[in-house]
Amino acid sequence: MGLEAIHLVSGALYADLGLLFGAPLFAMVLAKPHAEPLQRGTLAVLAVTGLCLSLAGFALTAAAMGGTSVIEMDPDLFTFVVTGTAVGWAFLVRLAALVLILVSTAISTSSTTTRPILVVTLAAVSVASQAWSGHAAASDGAAGLVRLAGDIAHLLTASVWLGALVILLRRLLAKLPQDEEHRIRTWQMLASFGSVGTIVVATLILTGLLNAAFLLRPVDLRLLPSTQYGQLLLLKLTLFGVMLGLAALNRFRLSPALARADKASNGSAAVLALRVSVGLEFTLAGAILLLVGWLGTLEPTFGG
């Protein structure tokens, strides 16, 4: 049960921190002024959830390292993992960043945060700290720094995609277009994401290839289907490919259809199609995050 719990908690933490960084970045920076800003209560809930998941995930990981349960874990072991390992220090940095986000939302005088750059920066730190929980942290020297930088870029970029999907879904699910202005603003939000989508996809592919170059040898590629790690990695890549297809459909077919809609329909049919497409894209993103949490606990060994 321990490893299964770590898989779930890790995936949930990736999702939570991804939303905490990606959603406000898209709503308050990339899509401004077309997107509504996030309520500070929403940011506070995400920060508290991140704190709880971080504590639970770290306790489960420390217990697994000691070959025991969380209840039976030696306090000295927990202290050592916190203060004597890189993953422990990354955990402490993450907690500090999340607490500061809570403080920022608590002292805000409006219903929406008045410190978007501060929140986004602290959330970026919390997302980046997760890189020390993955395989990249096992490398030393210059290679280790390159792997960590690649993982951090991968995590931050994936968070932008995830956060944008949530903001777009919130807009699409709120109501069908009631007037021309609503339709235009919805299309402008989609266009805002489309303008950065190419950069997001390119960064994910490049950093993914970088990580694969460190993990896999050419001879390992043919062995991928025969190992659990390889099977999960192939499943993740397949889901990512489907997400790319949906993103292309949204950008080149459904969004232009919304832009071309006449005033009589206000793009209702296009919005309904976008709801389905973006909803599927978000569901696939959630599945990928669970797989990422699982892959992070497995050793990429292929024999030979």
For 82-134, the pLDDT digits (tens) are 999 889 999 999 999 999 999 988 887 665 555 788 899 999 999 999 999 87
pLDDT in tens, 270-289: 888 999 999 999 999 999 99
**Residues 6+ away with beta carbon under 8 Å from 107:** none
For the segment 205-223, the average pLDDT, to the nearest whole number, is 86
Structure token pair of residue 136:
């990249």
Residue 25 near residue 161 (C-beta atoms within 8 A): no
Tokens encoding 302: 């292929």
Of residues 61 and 54, which shows the higher confidence score?
Answer: 54
What share of the chain has pLDDT > 70, as a percent?
88
Band (44; pLDDT cuts 50, 70, 90): very high
Q: Is 133:68 a contact under the CB 8 Å cutoff?
A: no
* Helix residue ranges per DSSP H, the chain: 2-25, 40-65, 75-84, 86-106, 116-128, 141-174, 180-215, 228-249, 255-260, 268-295
Lookup: tokens for 155: 């995590």
Is it the case that residue 27 has pLDDT exceeding 90? no
185-198: average pLDDT: 84
Residue, of 265 and 63, whose pLDDT is higher: 63
Determine the Cα–Cα distance for residues 107 and 93; give it in Å rounded to an integer: 21
The DSSP code for 56 is H
What mean pLDDT value characterizes the chain? Answer: 86
Q: What are phi and psi of 38, to 5 degrees?
A: -75, 145
CA–CA gap between residue 172 and residue 88 (Å, rounded): 40
**236: pLDDT confidence band, cut at 50, 70 and 90?**
very high
Q: How distant, in Å, are the alpha carbons of 40, 171, 172, 194 from that of 161?
A: 21, 16, 16, 11
Give the Cα separation of 112 and 165 in Å (integer).
20
**Helix 75-84 × helix 40-65 angle, to 10°:** 110
